[in-house]
Amino acid sequence: MEELSQIPWGLIAPLLVLQFVLAIVVIIDINRIHETRGPKWAWILVSLFVNTLGPVAYFLFGRKSQ
């Protein structure tokens, strides 16, 4: 448990919050949008498991212009 007390939570917590918010925004956007480039389930998996870069990749490459 000593290892957890040595982690700089003041630096890590904002990144975790950013990751969580981006993942939620991507999931909401995928549910609202009619069509994406590639399967929707794949973009959801990428946004959840590729940390901050997954949601950014979705917004850059996954959304189809309407």
The pTM for the full model equals 0.73
Write down the pLDDT at residue 65.
Answer: 67
Structural domain spans, the chain: 23-66
Per-residue model confidence (pLDDT) at position 11: 87
pLDDT digits (tens, 9 = 90+) for 1-55: 788 788 888 888 898 898 889 989 999 998 998 888 889 899 889 888 888 888 8
DSSP 7-59: S-HHHHHHHHHHHHHHHHHHHHHHHH-S-BSS-HHHHHHHHHHSTTHHHHHII
